Amino acid sequence: MSLTYDPDTGLAPLEFAVTKNLAAKSPAERAELLAKPAFGTTFTDHMVHICWSLEHGWHRPSVLPYGKLSLDPAAAVLHYGQEIFEGIKAYRHADGSIHTFRPDQNGRRLQRSARRLALPELPVEHFIQSLREIIAVDGEWVPSGDDQSLYLRPFMFAREAFLGVRPAHKVAYYVIASPVGAYFKGGAKPVSIWLSEEYSRAGKGGTGAAKTGGNYAASLLPQAEAYEEGCDQVVFLDQDRNVEELGGMNVVFVYKDGTIVTPQSDSILEGITRDSLLQLAIDRGHKVVGRAISIDEWRQGVASGDIVEVFACGTAAVVAPIGELKGRDFIDEQPLGSLALSLREELTDIQYGRREDRHGWMLRLDA
Ligand code: PLP
């Protein structure tokens, strides 16, 4: 790779030292694994790694055989949870080429998460390069079936062995990759949602807007409660009983006049899927409003017929219509419309190269 500096950023591409995995899966083994990918259980042959230290900044970029990490038991991440991650997919188009969706947005969100968790900010150009590097060695792992993709999981954590409570001076960044199919069994069928009234996911001034493990750890007990109640997912409220989001997806409400409302607050993750679906809705002439929406407005809106559709969205599942909201003493059937699934189709058509990418969202990774 030539070391030409990017005129906009002054950054040279990193020079990754590549160590090939000598025990890489054979084409036959890989084909078997790709035949029915489940979410997040199978991983490709390689991973990307970049070191950061206070002294040297980002250094030693490498591509390594996928394998176990060796960590000091005093590594700060194991004690204080200083870590962040991203989730983004690589899609195979009909001509065999490999593309990803709005990686600049994930790169910027990783930077915002890093700021909140007092971790170093990886330049967006290097974030995108790290995705190219994993595709360069593991591109064969991008599946080509319906709704299939290679899920890329960049993550960063405090590696320094130090038990004092302060931002770590040594940090590791990795990218691993996992072939995936549809997230929910049954594809885009309506999901049931458990309303968590006892637990919250985030608080004012907290880390809700960052993609950090602690937020997900906080969601596990209420998510387990949701399963016990026979629901697929949990929805969280803030201290004013406004709707925040699900454990891993944003929520969107469609009103009968065509207006689309979605919660806006500092304590929820700004989803890239949501932003993109809302842009497609704006293109179709819908009015889109980001504002607080209380659980009472949701329930009353459904009861009165003002709300005609509710759906959840995120990279993993893309769009999931919400068919039922269940609380301690109620079950509200949710109205099902056609907007969620038609936006889902338009978005996935763009992602899989079946429709014009009029917003310039796609980036080819294998060329
Ligand atoms: N909210 C949470 C808590 C998430 O984990 C995610 C991730 O998928 C989202 C929302 C949706 O974000 P995105 O559309 O960028 O995947």
pLDDT digits 0-9 by tens, 172-181: 999 999 999 8
What 3-state DSSP class applies to 41?
A: coil
Judged against a pLDDT cut of 70, whether residue 186 lies above it is answered with: no
Same structural domain, 174 and 246: no
d(CA 78, CA 160): 10
| Ligand 1: centre distance to CA 21 (Å) | 32
- 250: Cβ contacts below 8 Å, ≥ 6 apart: 262, 263, 268, 269, 271, 273, 274, 312, 313, 314
Q: Which of 147, 181, 215 is the last residue of a domain?
A: 181
What 3-state DSSP class applies to 121?
A: coil
Alpha-carbon dihedral angle through residues 267, 178, 146, 86, given to the nearest 10 degrees:
20
From 5-19, 190-204, 342-356, the region with the lowest mean pLDDT: 5-19
Judged against a pLDDT cut of 90, whether residue 5 lies above it is answered with: no
Q: What's the total number of domains in the chain?
A: 2
Judged against a pLDDT cut of 90, whether residue 185 lies above it is answered with: no
d(CA 305, CA 190): 18
Element (H, E) at 156: strand 149-158
Residue 51 maps to a domain: yes
Query: pLDDT for 35-53, tens place per residue?
Result: 888 788 899 999 999 999 9
Residue 360 maps to a domain: no
| Ligand 1: centre distance to CA 5 (Å) | 33
- 8: Cβ contacts below 8 Å, ≥ 6 apart: none
- pLDDT > 70 in the chain, percent: 96
Query: pLDDT for 284-311, tens place per residue?
Result: 999 999 999 999 999 999 999 999 999 9
Residue closest by Cα to atom 4 of ligand 1: 248
Residue closest by Cα to atom 3 of ligand 1: 248
d(CA 132, CA 339): 34
- Tell me 140's DSSP state: G
Which amino acid type is present at position 223?
Answer: Q
The secondary structure of 257-282 as a DSSP string is: TS-EEEE--TTS---HHHHHHHHHHH
Residue 141 maps to a domain: yes
In DSSP terms, which residues pair with 291 in a beta bridge?
Answer: 263
- 260: Cβ contacts below 8 Å, ≥ 6 apart: 252, 253, 254, 278, 281, 286, 287, 288, 289
Element (H, E) at 222: helix 213-228
Same structural domain, 207 and 167: no
Distance between alpha carbon 148 and the CA centroid of its chain, in Å? 16
pLDDT of residue 36: 83
d(CA 358, CA 219): 36
| Ligand 1: centre distance to CA 312 (Å) | 10
pLDDT interval class at 2 (50, 70, 90): very low
CB of residue 82 inside a 6 A radius of ligand 1: no
Q: Which of 181, 203, 223 is the last residue of a domain?
A: 181
Residue 52 maps to a domain: yes
Range 257-278 average pLDDT = 97
Same structural domain, 127 and 255: no
Query: pLDDT for 207-222, tens place per residue?
Result: 999 999 999 999 999 9
Same structural domain, 135 and 52: yes
d(CA 271, CA 313): 8
Same structural domain, 251 and 206: yes
| Total count of residues recorded for the chain | 367
Same structural domain, 206 and 238: yes
Residue 232 maps to a domain: yes
What is the domain range of residue 132? 17-181
**What sign does the CA torsion over 145, 27, 135, 155 have?**
positive
Range 257-286 average pLDDT = 97
In DSSP terms, which residues pair with 101 in a beta bridge?
Answer: 362
Give the orientation angle of helix 103-116 with respect to helix 124-138, to 10 degrees: 120
- pLDDT > 90 in the chain, percent: 90
CATH of the domain at 272: 3.20.10.10
Q: Which two tokens stand for residue 221?
A: 């007990």
Residue closest by Cα to atom 10 of ligand 1: 249
| Ligand 1: centre distance to CA 274 (Å) | 8
Judged against a pLDDT cut of 60, whether residue 105 lies above it is answered with: yes
Tell which atom from ligand 1 comes closest to the C-alpha of 88.
Answer: 16
Same structural domain, 233 and 287: yes
In DSSP terms, which residues pair with 328 in a beta bridge?
Answer: none
Strands (E), 75-204: 83-85, 88-92, 98-101, 149-158, 170-180, 191-196
CB of residue 248 inside a 6 A radius of ligand 1: yes
d(CA 139, CA 320): 28
| Ligand 1: centre distance to CA 362 (Å) | 19
Considering the chain, what is the average pLDDT of its residues?
95
CB of residue 269 inside a 6 A radius of ligand 1: yes
| Ligand 1: centre distance to CA 72 (Å) | 31
pTM of the full structure: 0.96
For residues 318 and 347, the answer to whether their CB atoms sit within 8 Å is yes
**Pocket-testing residue among 105, 234, 269, 277, ligand 1, by greatest number of atoms within 8 A of Cβ:** 269
CB of residue 249 inside a 6 A radius of ligand 1: yes
Range 321-336 average pLDDT = 97
pLDDT of residue 239: 93
pLDDT of residue 184: 62
**What sign does the CA torsion over 115, 119, 122, 127 have?**
negative
Same structural domain, 221 and 347: yes
| Ligand 1: centre distance to CA 270 (Å) | 7
Same structural domain, 243 and 346: yes
**Pocket-testing residue among 315, 318, 343, ligand 1, by greatest number of atoms within 8 A of Cβ:** 315
CB of residue 87 inside a 6 A radius of ligand 1: yes
Same structural domain, 175 and 199: no
Same structural domain, 125 and 204: no
Residue 41 maps to a domain: yes
Residue 143 maps to a domain: yes
Range 127-151 average pLDDT = 96
Residue 357 maps to a domain: no
CATH of the domain at 49: 3.30.470.10
pLDDT of residue 183: 75
| Ligand 1: centre distance to CA 269 (Å) | 6
pLDDT of residue 4: 61
Same structural domain, 111 and 39: yes
